[in-house]
Amino acid sequence: MTRQPGVARHAEELLGTAVVATAPVAGGDTSAATKLRLSDGTTAIMKTHAHPPDGFFPAEATGLRWLGEASASGGVRVPEVLAVDDGCLVVRWVEPGKATADAAAAFGHALAATHAAGAPTYGAEADGFIGRLPMPNGPCDSWPEFYAVRRVLPYLKLARDRGAVTAADAATVESLIGRLTTLLPDEPPARLHGDLWNGNVLWGQEGTAWLIDPAAYGGHREVDLAMLALFGLPHLPRVLEAYQEVAPLAEDWEDRVALHQLFPLLVHAALFGGGYGSRAAAVAARYV
């Protein structure tokens, strides 16, 4: 590790501890990440963004702390927030390990506990972000309403405005909205990670999985599980089996996996274009 003066100086101002060395960390597509070695022996990771939206890093810190509250009752662990300001977030470093079947089972049990910690309502006190996109979190009285007006329709509009969804595909998705009240079962709001794809599960050492980069809010627990399935997770069948040992899912939950993947598909359409818009329409067509 070398020492990047600008990054080190900023970290020292926030942490009140000298930075001995820094090193870039690969892998992020929204923020730059730098590994820090501090004079007190702590290793941390600092996320920065040249022009972050207002509240970007504070929202992530709030989500990490909220999810971390569930760790005390057996929920999935999250990195400790060491410092945050408008331009960066510093969290304690987690040493990577391997994904094993035993670690996957432990993750399934812990994720069930995180979800069971619950939320006051569908939504959150403040809006957040998913990737680099704003994410509306205004509370709603039911999950079907929240999923429609806070998750599907905003990103459908954004994707269409960006030319990532055709008018015909948008109409297919819109035709599904009126059916959500019969297709989606209501449950008490779960404490969701909110952006739970494979890349946001960090397999640490000693068989422990950690959650990173949340877009946390209160919602239906099937959304987190559907997102895990969308882009693949090592040992996912073992994760789901262990999850259901602790917290069985509602009847026919497997039939709703694709329905709850509609939201991340539209987010990806808005962010990346490609074939995500047509995939979202194909999902919607199964249910109309």
Half-sphere exposure of 45 (CA within 13 A, CB side): 17
> Strand pairing partners for 23?
35
160 close to 170: Cβ distance less than 8 angstroms: yes
Catalytic residue among 29, 85, 186, 195: 195
* Nearest CA-CA partner of 77 in 47, 99, 107, 102: 107
Query: Is there a catalytic annotation at residue 195?
Result: yes
**How far apart (Å, rounded) are the C-alpha atoms in residues 165 and 159?**
6
Q: Is 17 helix (H, G, I), strand (E, B) or coil?
A: coil
Alpha helix stretches (DSSP H) within the chain: 5-15, 56-69, 101-116, 143-146, 153-161, 167-177, 180-183, 221-230, 236-246, 257-260, 262-272, 276-287
Tokens of 82: 């060491």
Catalytic sites, residue numbers: 195
